[in-house]
Structure 1
Amino acid sequence: MVDTMALLPPFIRPTRMTRTVSRPVAELPADDEVLLDAPDERLGPALVAAAQGRYGPAAALLAATRERAEWEDRDRYALRLAAFARSRAEWLDAWRTAAPHDPDALLVAAQLAVDRAWPSPGRTELLREVSPLITAAARADGRDPVPWRVALDHARGSRAGHTYFEELWEAAVRRAPHHYGCHVAALRYLAASWHGSHRECFDFADLAAQDAPADSLVQALPVRAAFSYLTDGCGPEVPRERLEAAADRAIGLSVRLPAATPWPAEIRNLLTYVLIRLDRREDARVQLRLIGPYATSFPWDRVSDDPLGLFLKLRADVSAEPLAGPPRHPRK
Structure 2
Amino acid sequence: MVDTMALLHPFSRAARTPRAEPRLSTGFPADDEVLLDVPDDGLGAALVAAARGEHRPAADLLAATRRGADWEGRDRCVRRLAAFACSRAEWFEQWYAAAPNDPDARVVAAQLAVDRAWPSPARSELLREVSPLITAAARGDDRDPVPWRIALDHARGANAGHKYFEELWEAAVRRAPHHYGCHVAALDYLAAFWHGSHRECLDFADRAAQDAPEDSLVQGLPARAALAYLTDDCGPEVPRHRLDAAADRAIALSARFPAARPWPAELRNKLMYVLVRLERWDDAYAQLRLIGPYATSFPWERQSDDPLALFLKTRDDIRSAVVSSLPRHPRSERGGRARSGDH
The TM-score normalised by the length of structure 2 is 0.88
State whether residues 208 and 218 of structure 2, in contact with CA within 8 Å, keep that contact through their aligned partners in structure 1.
yes
State whether residues 127 and 158 of structure 2, in contact with CA within 8 Å, keep that contact through their aligned partners in structure 1.
yes
State whether residues 219 and 249 of structure 2, in contact with CA within 8 Å, keep that contact through their aligned partners in structure 1.
yes
d(CA) in 1 for partners of 2:169, 2:324: 44
Equivalent residue number for residue 295 of structure 2: 295
CA gap 1:323/1:215 in 2 versus in 1, 3 angstroms: farther
- The one-letter code of the counterpart of 2:84 is F
CA gap 1:9/1:323 in 2 versus in 1, 3 angstroms: closer
Does 2:105 match 1:105?
yes
CA gap 1:282/1:10 in 2 versus in 1, 3 angstroms: closer
Aligned positions of 1:46-57 closer than 5 A: 46-57=46-57
Equivalent residue number for residue 320 of structure 1: 320
Q: Give 1:195 shift.
A: 0.5
Aligned partner of residue 42 in structure 1, secondary structure: helix
CA gap 1:238/1:69 in 2 versus in 1, 3 angstroms: same
Equivalent residue number for residue 204 of structure 2: 204
Aligned positions of 1:169-318 closer than 5 A: 169-318=169-318
d(CA) in 2 for partners of 1:92, 1:197: 40
d(CA) in 2 for partners of 1:277, 1:271: 10
Aligned partner of residue 218 in structure 1, secondary structure: helix
- The one-letter code of the counterpart of 1:308 is L
d(CA) in 2 for partners of 1:219, 1:5: 32
State whether residues 206 and 221 of structure 1, in contact with CA within 8 Å, keep that contact through their aligned partners in structure 2.
yes
Q: Deviations over 1:87-117 (max 9, x none)?
A: 0000110001110100000111100100000
d(CA) in 2 for partners of 1:283, 1:171: 38
Identity of aligned residues (%): 75
Equivalent residue number for residue 121 of structure 1: 121
Q: Give 1:320 shift.
A: 2.5
d(CA) in 1 for partners of 2:258, 2:211: 23
4+ residue runs over 3 A deviation = none
Equivalent residue number for residue 18 of structure 1: none
d(CA) in 2 for partners of 1:180, 1:257: 16
- The one-letter code of the counterpart of 2:116 is R
CA gap 1:25/1:300 in 2 versus in 1, 3 angstroms: same
Q: Deviations over 1:189-234 (max 9, x none)?
A: 0000111010000000000000000000000000000000011111
Aligned partner of residue 115 in structure 1, secondary structure: helix
Q: Deviations over 1:96-144 (max 9, x none)?
A: 1110100000111100100000010000000000000000000011000
Q: Give 1:34 shift.
A: 0.3
Q: Give 1:250 shift.
A: 0.2
State whether residues 10 and 279 of structure 2, in contact with CA within 8 Å, keep that contact through their aligned partners in structure 1.
no
Equivalent residue number for residue 143 of structure 1: 143
Equivalent residue number for residue 40 of structure 1: 40
- The one-letter code of the counterpart of 2:113 is A
d(CA) in 1 for partners of 2:254, 2:313: 23
d(CA) in 2 for partners of 1:45, 1:271: 28
Aligned partner of residue 38 in structure 1, secondary structure: coil
d(CA) in 1 for partners of 2:301, 2:191: 19
Equivalent residue number for residue 157 of structure 2: 157
Aligned partner of residue 187 in structure 1, secondary structure: helix
The higher-RCO structure (CA 8 Å, 6+ apart) is 2
State whether residues 266 and 296 of structure 2, in contact with CA within 8 Å, keep that contact through their aligned partners in structure 1.
yes
Aligned positions of 1:58-69 closer than 5 A: 58-69=58-69
State whether residues 5 and 314 of structure 1, in contact with CA within 8 Å, keep that contact through their aligned partners in structure 2.
no
Aligned partner of residue 273 in structure 1, secondary structure: helix
Q: Deviations over 1:269-307 (max 9, x none)?
A: 000000000000110011011000000000000111110
